[in-house]
Amino acid sequence: MVTVTRNLKKMGCMSQLKITALDIFILMFDMFKMSDEMKLNGVNIIQLPKNFDRRGNLSVIEEIKNIPFTIKRTYWIYDVPGGEARGGHAYLQNQEFIVALSGSFDVVLDNGTEKKIYSLNRSYYGLYVPRGVWRQMDNFSTNSLALVLASIPFDPKDYIYDYNLFKAMSRDANELVNLPK
């Protein structure tokens, strides 16, 4: 913990992002809990209920029941020009659930050591992204619509936009994971 804080201060990041030692501890604790099998910190495709009807199908998302958090904010991404990407950040606290309501797009997730691409193209499943995972969305099809449910209200202090800072935090957290028992 002291090493992480010292490294971030050397990089001049503590004052830029207004990150507290508690924020760093929480992020590192979450990363410490990850298992060898779940290298991307609990990322999960979640199947949503499907109600079939001849008039049209219906799917629902209920907080806590279908996704592992209470919904505090909802937003959607649409009309993304060809070749453009969205995201390019991680969160200290926020968790998200991303659904392709229409069309398709890729979500590229990165825990600092491993990257994985999830292609979303159905409205009856979504991608759960816990805090502490770098995310970027790209390859949007024409007329695609991404619904994003978030666990906290918008807070600019929750974002990590600097990928090098994110990697440093991830590396320091991984050092904690690999300590002898």
Taking only the tens place, the pLDDT of each residue in 102-150 is 999 999 999 998 999 999 999 999 999 999 999 999 999 999 999 999 9
Q: What Rg do the C-alpha atoms of the chain give, in angstroms?
A: 17
Q: Which domains occur in the chain, in start order? A: 2-177 (2.60.120.10)
Angstrom distance (rounded) from CA 159 to CA 88? 10
Mind telling me the catalytic residues? 89
Pick from 87, 85, 79: nearest CA to 148: 87
Mean pLDDT of the chain: 84
What confidence tens digit (pLDDT) does each residue in 12-51 have?
A: 555 445 556 655 655 554 444 433 333 577 999 999 999 9
Looking at per-residue pLDDT, the higher value among 82 and 41 belongs to 82
